[in-house]
């Protein structure tokens, strides 16, 4: 909806910038508050973005149209309510709104329809056909608002719109701001009424000495901030928070740029030196680590070799011990076997002797029997 990039503005014969390098983006369907103390650059910014004031640097786009390159297309999307309600006081309210509608190329029947609508909405029906010179401050503000809305602008800009209004008029304008937002449009306004801004706005920008200090999401701020918006605003708009930016002529600018260039060069050299030193330290540390790792590897290798040697020795000793033990066991087993064999042999000899004795006895018995038989015969 609105895109401001690098907006810079200095008034003629002033040595200071009213706005310096301001960047701001507004989107559809939001109410955006613009806060700052008197002289902070609010009205200057608004007059630049509405095309009233030229500016020195930067770009401003409204609904995609550059305010300098395509001023007519950009302004057809803007509805502007100034802080001084400058109007043609000899005209009636209806005549003035008709005049503004013609400037914005609104068909006559739509102008009449919208005049009736807004006259009813802002309680101006009784005075719409009276000369503006007879209007009160609040009525003049209302007729300016009706004139700003006659072409149903996508981007509605108000500079201190509620200053000096009675509660009923304030309520009516606030309610239509919300309605305009609901239609997908954007409302941008400056104000010193922080309580109203806090209740009405989706986002808020704080400007101090022509410099954008911060953009605040109001709901998030209310939920998370330990202090109210007013206290935060007062802190952000202290003189110590932003320096006055002085204007420079070509010679001063050249000298400043030269000094900045030298400073950047010096900073670059220092950075290079620092990086070089850092790299040297890193390389030194890396070498020490590599040396340490190498030593550790060597120690591990030596320890591994020693461990392997010890294991081999232990294995040899165990083999010898096992062989010795095995030999002893074999000898014992052989001894047992020999003993058993001797015992067996001895038993066999005894059996043989018995068998021989038995055979001899049997033979003797047979001989004795034979002799007895012979005797009997």
Domains in the chain: boundaries: 2-248, 249-346
Structure confidence at residue 194 as a pLDDT band (50, 70, 90) = confident
255-298 pLDDT, tens digit per residue, is 777 888 888 988 989 988 888 888 888 888 888 888 888 888 88
Q: In this prediction, what percent of the chain has a pLDDT beyond 70?
A: 96
pLDDT score of 190 more than 60: yes
Residue with the larger pLDDT of the pair 325 and 212: 212
pLDDT at position 245 is 55
Q: Which fold has domain 2-248?
A: Rossmann fold (3.40.50)
Distance between CA 120 and CA 128 in Å, rounded? 10
Strand order in the sheet with 57-62: 19-26, 2-9, 57-62, 65-66
Of the listed ranges 124-133, 151-160, 225-234, 356-365, the one predicted with least confidence: 356-365
How many CB atoms lie under 10 A from the CB of residue 306? 10
Structure confidence at residue 229 as a pLDDT band (50, 70, 90) = confident
Token readout for 300 is 């591990």
C-alpha dihedral, 286 to 291 to 293 to 297, nearest 10°: 160
Residue 186 CB-density burial (10 A; 0-12 exposed, 13-18 middle, 19+ buried): buried
State the pairing for strand pair 78-81/19-26.
unpaired
Token readout for 365 is 């018995």
45-92 pLDDT, tens digit per residue, is 999 999 999 998 999 999 999 999 999 999 999 999 888 777 888 999
Mean pLDDT, the chain, rounded, equals 86
Q: Are 128 and 96 in contact (CB under 8 A)?
A: no
pLDDT score of 234 more than 60: yes
Distance between CA 49 and CA 66 in Å, rounded? 10
Structure confidence at residue 235 as a pLDDT band (50, 70, 90) = confident
Could you give the residue ranges of the DSSP H alpha helices within 70-107?
A: 71-75, 93-103
pTM comes to 0.62
Q: In this prediction, what percent of the chain has a pLDDT beyond 90?
A: 32
pLDDT score of 240 more than 70: no
pLDDT at position 202 is 92
Distance between CA 258 and CA 267 in Å, rounded? 14
Distance between CA 191 and CA 233 in Å, rounded? 12
> Mean pLDDT across the stretch 324-348?
81
In our burial notation (b when 16+ CB lie closer than 10 A, e otherwise), range 346-366 reads eeeeeeeeeeeeeeeeeeeee
Closest CA to 139 of 112, 169, 101, 100: 169
3-state secondary structure of 281: helix
pLDDT at position 228 is 86
């Amino acid at each position: 909806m609105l895109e401001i990039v690098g907006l810079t503005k200095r008034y003629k014969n002033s040595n200071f910038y009213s706005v310096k390098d301001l960047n701001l983006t507004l989107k559809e369907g939001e109410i955006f508050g613009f806060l700052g103390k008197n002289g902070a650059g609010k009205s200057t910014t608004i007059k630049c973005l509405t095309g009233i004031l030229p500016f020195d640097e930067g770009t401003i786009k409204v609904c995609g149209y550059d305010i300098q390159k395509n001023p007519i297309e950009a302004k057809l999307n803007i509805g502007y309510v100034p802080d001084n309600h400058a109007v043609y006081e000899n005209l009636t309210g209806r005549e003035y709104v008709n005049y503004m509608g013609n400037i914005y190329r609104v068909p006559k029947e739509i102008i009449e329809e919208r005049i009736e609508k807004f006259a009813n909405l802002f309680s101006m029906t009784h005075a719409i056909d009276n000369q503006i010179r007879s209007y009160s401050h609040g009525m003049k503000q209302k007729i300016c608002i009706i004139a700003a809305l006659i072409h149903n602008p996508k981007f509605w800009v108000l500079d201190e719109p509620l200053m000096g209004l009675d509660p009923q008029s304030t309520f009516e304008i606030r309610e239509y701001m919300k309605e305009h937002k609901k239609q997908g449009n954007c409302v941008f306004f400056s104000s010193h009424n922080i309580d109203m801004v806090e209740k009405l706005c989706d986002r808020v920008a704080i400007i101090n000495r022509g410099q954008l200090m911060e953009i605040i999401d109001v709901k998030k701020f209310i939920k998370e901030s330990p202090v109210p918006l007013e206290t935060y605003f007062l802190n952000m708009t202290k003189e110590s928070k932003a320096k006055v930016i002085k204007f420079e002529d070509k010679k001063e600018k050249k000298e400043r740029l030269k000094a900045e260039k030298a400073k950047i060069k010096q900073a670059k050299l220092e950075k290079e030196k620092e990086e070089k030193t850092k790299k040297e330290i890193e390389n030194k540390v890396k070498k020490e680590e590599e040396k340490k790792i190498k030593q550790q590897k060597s120690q591990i290798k030596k320890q591994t070799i020693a461990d392997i040697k010890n294991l081999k020795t232990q294995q040899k000793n165990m083999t010898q011990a096992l062989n010795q033990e095995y030999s002893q066991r074999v000898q014992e087993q052989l001894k047992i076997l020999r003993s058993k064999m001797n015992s067996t042999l001895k038993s066999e000899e005894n059996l043989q002797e018995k068998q021989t004795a038995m055979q001899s006895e049997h033979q003797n018995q047979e001989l004795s029997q034979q002799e007895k038989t012979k005797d009997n015969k």
